[in-house]
Amino acid sequence: MPFDMSTVGFTTKPYTLGYDWKNLAAYALGIGAKRDELAYLYEGAKGGMKVYPTFAVIPAYEPVVELLGKSGGDMAMVVHGGQQVRAHRPIPAAGKMTTTGTCKGIYDMKKFGQVILETRTTLDGEPLFDTTWSIIFRGAGGFEGPRPPEAPDEPSAPKGREPEWTVEETTSPEQALLYRISGDVNPLHADPEFAAMVGFPQGPILHGLCTYGFVARAIVKSSAGGDATKLRAFAAQFRKPVWPGDTIVTQGHELGGGKVAVVATVKGRPDAVLTNAWAEVG
C-alpha cells in the first residue's frame, strides 16, 4: 500500500483523555512496577499518588493511530522504531489531558518506510509533555521518497567504561497482556496466530513501549533516587524484540550535568534491544 505523502504536516483534532488512579496504576503495573513502588500504584499513598512520566505515551495513542492510518501504510506491518518523551512538569494524579498529533515526515529507508510523528499534550491549557514517535513499516521502503534526516548528536555510553549501575528485571509471561490494558491493543502483542502471520513465529512480542517503561523505571530508581518527577526526558531506539518472560538488563552511564546514557539487553542474548538511549534527570 503506497504512502500518502500529503499526510506530512497534517495535525489531528484534539483528543481528550480523562484519567484517574486506575489508569495510572494499570500503566505502572504494565511497565513492571512492584510493591516497593507503592506510590505509583496506590491512590492512598502518603503525599499523593505519583506518576511515571512515560505515561505520556498513553494519551498519544489515539492521535498516533489516526496519523498512521492516514499515512496509508499497512498497519499489520508496523513496529516501533524509537520514542522520546519530554516532560514540562509533573503529571497530576487525576485530570483531563488534551493531545494533538502532527505527522512530521514520511521517509524511505530502502527496505522499510519510516513515519515520524509528534504529539503535544496540555492540561488546564498549560503544556504537560511532548512526545516523538518513529514508526517503522516493514517491507514498505523503495517508494522513492526522501531519506531520513541525519540524527542529531545525543549522549552516548562511553566506550570501554563500565556502567555506574545495572538493573535486571524479569518480565512476566503475561506482561504484554497487562500492558495492552492501557490502550495499545495491537494483536501482535496478544494473538499467537497473528504474530506468526506477520513474522514472529515465537509468539507475541512485548510492546516496545513496555520495554521503554521498564528501562525508564530503572533510570528513576538508579539515577533519580526513586523520584520520577526528576526524569525530564527519555529517548531510545528499539533494535530487537523482547518477549514476555525475558529478563531486561539495563545499564546506565552517568555523564554529568544530569545526562545519563543507557543500553538495554535481554539476559542470555547478545544483541542490545534498546540503543541510542539517553535521559535527562533534574
Could you give the CA distance from residue 39 to residue 75 in angstroms, rounded to a whole number?
A: 37
User: How many folded domains does the chain comprise?
Assistant: 1
pLDDT in tens, 185-242: 999 999 999 999 989 999 999 999 999 999 999 999 999 999 999 999 999 999 999 9
Q: Do residues 40 and 46 make contact, with C-beta atoms less than 8 angstroms apart?
A: no
Domain that holds residue 54: 5-281
> Residue 249: in which H helix or E strand, if any?
strand 247-256
Q: Do residues 134 and 238 make contact, with C-beta atoms less than 8 angstroms apart?
A: no
Helix, strand, coil in percent for the chain, rounding step 5: 25, 35, 40
CATH number of 100's domain:
3.10.129.10
Could you give the CA distance from residue 120 to residue 57 in angstroms, rounded to a whole number?
A: 10
Sign of CA dihedral 165, 240, 117, 188: negative
Exposed e or buried b per residue across 92-122, where buried means at least 16 C-beta atoms within 10 angstroms of its C-beta = eebeebbbbbbbebbbbbeebbbbbbbbbbb
What pLDDT does residue 1 have? 54
Q: Do residues 204 and 195 make contact, with C-beta atoms less than 8 angstroms apart?
A: yes
pTM: 0.94
What pLDDT does residue 157 have? 80
Grid cell at residue 94: 487525576
Where the chain has pLDDT below 70, the residues are 1
